[in-house]
Amino acid sequence: MKRRLNLFIISLMALLVHSCQEEYFVDLKDVETALVVEGYISDKGGIQSIRLSYASKFQSVESPVYAYGANVILHVSDGTTWEFHPGWAGYYNLPADFLAEPGKTYTLEIQLTGFDGEPRVYQSIPQAMPSPVNIDDAYAEFSEELFFFYSTETDYVYQRYVPGTNAMVTASNTDGSPVRFRFESEMYLQYVIRYDGVIPSYDYCWIRRDVTDFAGSDINLFPNQQNSPTRIAFIPSIPFYMGHLGFPRYPYDGVRVIINRMFTLNEQGYKFHKDKNEQLGDNGQFFDPIASQVKGNIKCISHPDELVLGFFEVSSEITRPYLVNANEYYNILEVDLLDLNFDLIPRAGCKLDTLPDFWLP
Amino acid sequence: MLKKSYLPLLLLFSLLLPQAVKAESTSFSGNQPEGLQITELTRQLEQKHQTRIFYLEEWFAGKRFDPQIADLPLPQALSRIIGELRLEVMVHDGMIFIMPSEAPQQQLSAPGDVAIIGNPNEFGRYSRATITGKITDGSTGEPLFGAVLFDPESGIGASAGLNGRFRMELPVGEKRLRISYVGYEDRIQPIRLVSDGSIDLELFISSTQLQEVTIMAKRAEENVLRTQMSMISLDAKSIQELPGTFGERDIVRSITLLPGIQTVGEFGTGFNVRGGSADQNLILVENVPLFNSSHLFGLISVVNPDLVNNVTLIKAGTPAKFGERASSVMDIRLGNGLSTETASVTGGLGVLNSRILLQTPIIKEKASLEFGARTLYSDWFLGRIPSKDLMNSAAGFHDLTGVINFAIGTKNRFTIFGYRSFDRFSFGGESDYEYANTMASFRWNSFFGPRLSSTFMAGISNYDYQVKEVPPQQEFRHLQMNSDIRYKTIKWQLTFQPSHNHKIETGLHAIEYGISPGRLVPLTEETVIKPKTQADERGLELAAFFSDDISITEKISAELGLRYSHFLQLGPAKVNLYQQDMPMTPDHIADSVFYGRNEVVSQYGGLEPRIGLRFTTGETSSVKLSFSRINQYINLITNTSVMAPTDVWKLSDTYLKPLKSDQYALGYFRNFSENRIETSLEVYYKQLHNVIEYKSGAEIALNDYLETDIINAKGYNYGLELYVKKNTGRLTGWTSYTYSASMRRSDSPYPENQINNNTYFPSNYDRPHNFVLNTNYNISRRWRFGATFTYNTGRPVTLPELTYWQGGNMMVQFSDRNKYRLPDYHRLDLSISLGENLRTDRRGKGSWTFSVMNVYGRKNPYSVFYKKDSGTFHSDTSFKLYQVYIIGQALPTITYNFRF
C-alpha cells in the first residue's frame, strides 16, 4: 500500500513538473506568399547579381520557388540605368562592365507578373553607396568559443568550449561618421605532408573554408565608436577541433591566412543585418518572447499593401588577408597581399613536390 | 426497539432538504387552529417510522401543523416541521434530534431572523443574561472602537472597546438591539436572549441614512449602497469557500475567477485587471507591496491563505489614499488582531506542500501573535521520478508570515508584520533559479475620539532573484545573474468622521525606490564571461491625498478625492543623449550626461482626481459612476506575454515616461430575493498613455541601452462585466461573463519604433470573452461539493508565417504583432470536502479535500514558440512550432487540514 501511494504521488509530481510540449500547427491558409529579394551590389567589380524567389509558408516542406521572367533594372543617381540579365535559379546578373562607385545612389526596380496574373512593380528605397572604412589595426586576443561536435561512433552531438585566437581589427572613417560594416572571413590553410622514403617526398596542400562557424560573418557592434575592435575570425588553437569543418586533422602545422571581405554599409543596410543577426540568434523560448522581425527596403509600388521581403544592399568592399603565425596562436600578423590573388587559389588541393605559385613562405 | 436503519437518513435529509424547504413555502400550514400540535405530529411520526424524535416544545409554541405531514416520507415530514425555524435535524443511533441550528454566530441571515443567544435548553432558567461579542467593519474586519449597542426596550446600552469587543447584561427575552457607529449604517438586530452567550456583529460604511426596514437588510446590500464600485471584498469566511488550487485556498488565483480579472494560464506570475499588465496591480500585504505574488512561477500564490483576514480588490474608482499602480489595488489584511482568545494550531498536509498556523494571545485582549509557515517538499519526489533531467531537478519554496498586534491603553493600537518567501527551481542540474520576497511593516492606529483617528505606517518590501548557470564539468561557463528591488515607504493618514454619513481622509505618502537592474558575476576563476554590473536606479515618489465621502441627499452619495503624486529620478545616473530627428538607437547616441548622487535626473508629477458617485434607484438597486486617474512610476520590463520572476523592474526616467491611466466606469447594482442574490452590470473605458511596448526582438537583461528597445505607446481598454452571486443557502457561488478589449498603438514617425505601422493592435491581455461558473453545494453539514468552470478567449500571439532565404540563412517572417490567438482556454475543476467533526468535545479536528483539476484533461496551450534546428549535422535548417501546456491531464490532489 505504501508503495502504491508512493507511486501515486510521484506520478502526480511528474504530471505537474513535466509540463508537456507538442508540435503546434497554425492555420496559414489566408497567408499569401511574398517576393523575396536578395540583392548585393558592391564596388568590387565582376559579376553582380541579385536573386528573386518566393517565401514559403511556415512549416511548409516545399522547396524554394524562384521568380523567373522579371525585368530587373538598376537606376543610378548619375542618370544611367542598367538591365539585369536572367540567369539560373532566380538569379539576375548585371553586365560585366558594370562597376558601382561610392557616393552614388542606386535604386533597384523589378517588374514581375504576380501569381494572380497582374503586373507588379517593385522598387527599393534608394541606396547610397558609402565610402569604405579605414582598417587601422589588427591584433590577436585569446578567447574561447563554444563548438559542437558530432561523434559518429555514438551518433551523439555534444558541445564544448575550445580555446583559440580572436583576430581583431579596428576601423574608422576619416570624416568621423559612424563606422558600419559587415564582413565575411574565410580561412586558408597551407600545409606540407612529408613522406619518408629512400627519397623523401612532400605534398604541398591547401584548403579553404568559410569560418562562419566560429564568428566569421557578422557586423561591427559599435558603429558610433571609431576604432572600436571587431572580431573578424576565431582560430581554434587545437587542430583536431577543426576536423569537422573540413580542415585536415593531421598534420596541421602550416600557414593560416584569414581572408577578410569587409562591406561598408549605409545605415539601412547596417540595421537590416543587425536585425537579421538578432533573429538568427533567437531560438524561441518557453515564456513566449517578442520575436525579432526583419524589415527590408523593397516596396511594391503597384500594390502598396503587398509584403515584400529581403534587402537590396549597396556596399563598398575591401578584401584584406591576415597571416596567422602557425607557431604562436596568440599572435596575428597582418600581411600585405603581395602579388597573390587570393581569389584564384583553388578551394583545396595538393601538389606533389611542387610549390604552388601562391605558396607563402 | 429502535432501528438503526435511519442512519443513512442523514445524507438523505441533506439531499432532499432544499427541495423540501422550497415546497414548504407554498404548502406549510403552520398556525392553523385546526392543525396538529407538535407533540401529536411527532407521536404519529414516531409510531409510523419506529423512531424517537427529541425536541423542546417551546420551539414550536403556538404552531399547528398540517395533519398530512404525518403521511409524508420522514425526511420531508421533518423538513416541513422545522420549516423556517432556525432548527436542524440530526440522526444519531437511530434517534432523531431536532435542535437549534449551529449557524455561524454572525447573524447575517435573511430579514426577520432572530439570533438566539445562549443555550435554548436553558430557556426560562434565567431572568437576566450577559451578551458578549465583537463589532467589526464588515468590509475590512477591523474592530469598531466606540460602536454602540442599545436596547430601546430596557434603555440599556454598551459601547465596544478598542478591540471591538463589548459586554452587556439584559433581561432575557425577545429584543431588538440597535447597533450604531459614526459613518456606518445603523443596524437593528432582533435577538432572543436565553442565557449568557455571544454574538459578533458587523457594520458597513454607508453614506445614506436609510429607513429602518432597509437598515435591517444588512451586509448583502453593501454592494448596492456603498459609493465604491468595481470592488471585490472577501472576508475570512468567504476565503474559506474559495475554490482551491492543488487542494489549497489561493487568494490570488481565486481572484482571477472574478469578472474583469484574468491570468495568462496555469503558469505565470500575477494577474491582469481590465486589460492591464500584471505590474499595474498594487498588491498590498499589510500595507506594503508585494512584487512577486507567486510561488513556483505562478502555480501557487505566496500569500498564506490561513492568515488572511480579508481581501479587498478595487478595479475602478480607486480611493485617493491609493496610487502607485494603474490597474487595481488588492489590499490584503492578515490576522485576527486582538480577538485571538485562545492558542490554536491549524495546518494542512497536501500532495505538494504543507502549512501550519499558530495563533495565540500574548496578553489577553492586549497582545496577540499569529505565525504561519508553508513549505514545498518536491525535491524528494523529483528524485524518484525515472527521468534523468527530473532526478537532477529541484523545486521548492517556503514562506513565513508573522503578525503581532498589541494595544497600549485604549487609544493606541499597533501591528507589526513580517514576511519572507523563498523559491528555488533548478532543472537538470544546469541552471538554478532563486527568488525571494521580504516584507515588513509597522502600523500605529491612534484614536483621538469617536470621530478622529490617525494611522501611521512604515514598511519595506524587497524582491530579489538570481539565476545561476552551472553546467556540470564546464566551470568556465559558471555564472550568476541577479537583480533586486528595494522599496521603503512611510504613510500617514488622518480620518475624520463629522457624522455617520460623512468621512474625510487625508494624508501623506513617501516611497523610496532602489533597483539593481542586473549583475553578471563569474562563479569560478575559469569562467570566461566578464563580470558586468548595470548602474543602480533610484527614485523618490511623494504624494498627498484628500478624500471626502459624503451623502449629499438620501439617494445620492459621493466620494470625491484628489491625489498629487510627484516622482524624482535620482542620481547617480548616466543618461545617453540621442541625435535629434533620428530614431533612438544605439547608433544615434550623440553624447552622454552624468548625474551625481541625489541629483535629480528627471521628474514627473500630476494631479490624480478620483470621483465616485452613487444614485440609489430603489431599495436594493443603485447606479454608480466613477473616474480615476493614476500615475505609475515603476514598471516591470518584460518582453514576454507573461510576468516571469526574472523580469526587471524599472523606474520612470528621462525616456521612459510614467504610465498614466484614466478610467471611466458605470455600473448598475441590484440585489434580489432579499439580498440572497447580488447582481451587477459594469462597463468601463480606460485610456492609457505611455504604456510600455517593445520593439521586435527587444533585449531586456543587462541592456545598457534599454530605452532604445522600448516604445512609449498609447492604449485603451474597455469592457462589460456581468456578475451574479448567490450568497446564502446550500448552493452558493457566482457566475460572471466579461466582454473586454485591450488595444495598443505605437505613435512614432520612425519605422524602427512602429508596431504594425502605428495601427491599433490587441495587447497581450486582450481576451474578449470570459465566463466563470463557481459553485459550492453543501451536501450536508460536513460534506461539500465544489465545481469551477472557466472559459477564456485565447490570448493574442505573434506567430511565424513565412520562411525565406537571405544571404544563405533561412529567415522567418512573423505576423503582425498579436495577429493570432491561442486556442480558447477552458477548464473544469471539481472538489469534494469532508469538513471537521462537529463534536465540540474533540480537541483536534481535521478535514479532507479531494479535488481534480482539469477534469476532462483539456490541453490548454500556455505558450506557443518556435524552435530552430540549425541542421548542423543531420539535416538542413528547419523550424517547428510548439505549444506548451502545463496541466494537460486531469490532476487529482488530496489535502488534509487539521486544527487543534
Taking CB atoms and an 8 Å limit, are B697 and A293 in contact across chains? yes
Looking at the predicted structure, is the pLDDT value of residue B28 above 50?
no
Do B190 and B338 lie in a common domain? no
pLDDT given at position B269: 66
Residues of B in contact with A56 (CB under 8 A): 802-804
| Cα B749 to Cα B667: distance, rounded to the nearest angstrom | 39
The residue of chain A with its CA nearest to that of B889 is: A15
Segments of B409-430 assigned E as strands? 412-427
Residues of A in contact with B695 (CB under 8 A): 290
| Cα A207 to Cα A188: distance, rounded to the nearest angstrom | 6
Q: Which helix (H) or strand (E) holds B765?
A: none
B476/chain A closest Cα distance in angstroms: 8
Number of H helices, E strands in chain A: 2, 23
pLDDT given at position B349: 79
pLDDT given at position B467: 86
Is residue A232 a contact partner of residue A183, using CB atoms and an 8 Å limit? yes
Looking at the predicted structure, is the pLDDT value of residue A342 above 70?
no
Which residues are bridge partners to B461 per DSSP? B439, B487
B559 closest CA partner among B505, B482, B516, B513: B505
**Residues sharing a CB contact under 8 Å with residue B559, sequence separation 6 or more, in sequence order:** B207, B227, B228, B317, B319, B547, B548, B549, B550, B610, B611, B612, B613
Mutate to test the interface with B, among A265, A288, A297, A315 (most CBs of B within 10 A): A288
The three three-digit cell numbers of residue B128, written as one number:
437576566
pLDDT given at position B838: 58
Residues of B in contact with A18 (CB under 8 A): 385, 387, 390
Taking CB atoms and an 8 Å limit, are A15 and B879 in contact across chains? no
Render pLDDT for B494-540 as a digit per residue (tens, 0 to 9): 999 888 788 999 999 999 999 999 888 888 876 667 788 999 999 99
The residue of chain B with its CA nearest to that of A226 is: B587
Do B301 and B202 lie in a common domain? no
Looking at the predicted structure, is the pLDDT value of residue A329 above 70?
no
Is residue A325 a contact partner of residue A333, using CB atoms and an 8 Å limit? yes
Residues of B in contact with A223 (CB under 8 A): 587
pLDDT given at position B254: 81
Do B699 and B663 lie in a common domain? yes
Mutate to test the interface with A, among B802, B819, B879 (most CBs of A within 10 A): B802
What secondary structure does DSSP assign to A246-271, as a single string? T--SSS--EEEEEEEEEEE--HHHHH
Q: Which residue of A31, A282, A290 is in closest CB contact with B798?
A: A290
Render pLDDT for B607-637 as a digit per residue (tens, 0 to 9): 999 999 999 998 889 999 999 999 999 998 8
CATH number at residue B185: 2.60.40.4130
The residue of chain A with its CA nearest to that of B589 is: A224
What's the number of domains chain B is made of? 3
Range of the domain at B140: 115-224
B546/chain A closest Cα distance in angstroms: 42
Q: Which residue of A6, A13, A295 is in closest CB contact with B751?
A: A295
Do B615 and B695 lie in a common domain? yes
Is residue B169 a contact partner of residue B118, using CB atoms and an 8 Å limit? no
pLDDT given at position B62: 76
B576/chain A closest Cα distance in angstroms: 13
Do B138 and B250 lie in a common domain? no
Looking at the predicted structure, is the pLDDT value of residue A320 above 80?
yes
Residues of A in contact with B893 (CB under 8 A): 12
In chain A, domain spans: 35-131+267-316, 134-265+317-352
Taking CB atoms and an 8 Å limit, are A287 and B587 in contact across chains? no
Distance of CA B18 to the CA centre of its chain: 30
Do B93 and B132 lie in a common domain? no
| Cα B166 to Cα B151: distance, rounded to the nearest angstrom | 14
Which residues are bridge partners to A258 per DSSP? A187, A322
Do B313 and B430 lie in a common domain? yes
pLDDT given at position A6: 39
At A5, the pLDDT band (50, 70, 90 cuts) reads very low
What integer is the mean pLDDT of B464-489? 84
Taking CB atoms and an 8 Å limit, are B804 and A31 in contact across chains? no
Least confident of A76-85, B369-378, B833-842: B833-842
Taking CB atoms and an 8 Å limit, are A271 and B752 in contact across chains? yes
| Cα B488 to Cα B513: distance, rounded to the nearest angstrom | 7
What integer is the mean pLDDT of A79-101? 94
A285/chain B closest Cα distance in angstroms: 6
Q: Which residue of B587, B802, B892 is in closest CB contact with A56?
A: B802
Number of H helices, E strands in chain B: 9, 56
Higher pLDDT pick, B130 / A253: B130
pLDDT given at position B197: 82
Burial of A346 (0-12, 13-18, 19+ CB in 10 A): exposed
Mutate to test the interface with A, among B746, B811, B816 (most CBs of A within 10 A): B811
Least confident of A20-24, B316-320, B332-336, B505-509: A20-24
Q: Which residue of B640, B697, B751 is in closest CB contact with A292?
A: B697
Render pLDDT for B801-820 as a digit per residue (tens, 0 to 9): 999 999 888 899 999 999 99
> Of the segments B426-430, B795-799, B873-877, which one has the largest average pLDDT value?
B795-799
pLDDT given at position B212: 29
Do B38 and B160 lie in a common domain? no
What secondary structure does DSSP assign to B272-306, as a single string? EETT--GGGEEEEETTEE-S--EEGGGTEESS-GG
The three three-digit cell numbers of residue B487, written as one number:
522599496
Mutate to test the interface with A, among B642, B761, B765, B804 (most CBs of A within 10 A): B804
The residue of chain A with its CA nearest to that of B427 is: A17
Render pLDDT for B53-76 as a digit per residue (tens, 0 to 9): 878 777 787 788 888 888 887 877
Looking at the predicted structure, is the pLDDT value of residue B33 above 90?
no
Looking at the predicted structure, is the pLDDT value of residue A306 above 90?
yes
The three three-digit cell numbers of residue A102, written as one number:
561610392
Taking CB atoms and an 8 Å limit, are B885 and A19 in contact across chains? yes
Do B513 and B594 lie in a common domain? yes
Least confident of A159-168, B616-625, B833-842: B833-842
Do B354 and B406 lie in a common domain? yes
Q: Which of these three, B68, B100, B132, is where a domain ends?
A: B100
Whether B105 maps to a domain, the answer reads no
| Helix-, strand-, coil-residue percentages of chain A, each rounded to 5 | 10, 45, 40
Residues of B in contact with A307 (CB under 8 A): 813
pLDDT given at position A245: 52
Do B78 and B213 lie in a common domain? no
> Of the segments A3-17, B16-30, B130-144, B730-744, which one has the largest average pLDDT value?
B730-744
Render pLDDT for B372-407 as a digit per residue (tens, 0 to 9): 999 887 666 555 555 555 556 677 889 999 999 998
The residue of chain A with its CA nearest to that of B394 is: A17
> Of the segments A291-295, A349-353, B88-92, B460-464, which one has the largest average pLDDT value?
B460-464
pLDDT given at position A15: 46
Phi and psi dihedrals of B610, rounded to 5?
A: -130, 125
B660/chain A closest Cα distance in angstroms: 24
| Cα B445 to Cα B337: distance, rounded to the nearest angstrom | 13
Q: Average per-residue pLDDT in chain B?
A: 82
The three three-digit cell numbers of residue B43, written as one number:
407521536
Higher pLDDT pick, B121 / B315: B315
Q: Which residue of A14, A223, A290 is in closest CB contact with B385?
A: A14
Interaxial angle between packed helices B38-49 and B74-82, expressed in degrees from 0 to 180 and rounded to the nearest 10: 160
How many A/B residue pairs have CB atoms within 8 Å?
A: 209
What integer is the mean pLDDT of B277-286? 94
- DSSP class of residue A32 equals P
Taking CB atoms and an 8 Å limit, are A31 and B801 in contact across chains? yes
At A156, the pLDDT band (50, 70, 90 cuts) reads low
Residues of A in contact with B865 (CB under 8 A): 284-286, 288
Do B64 and B182 lie in a common domain? no
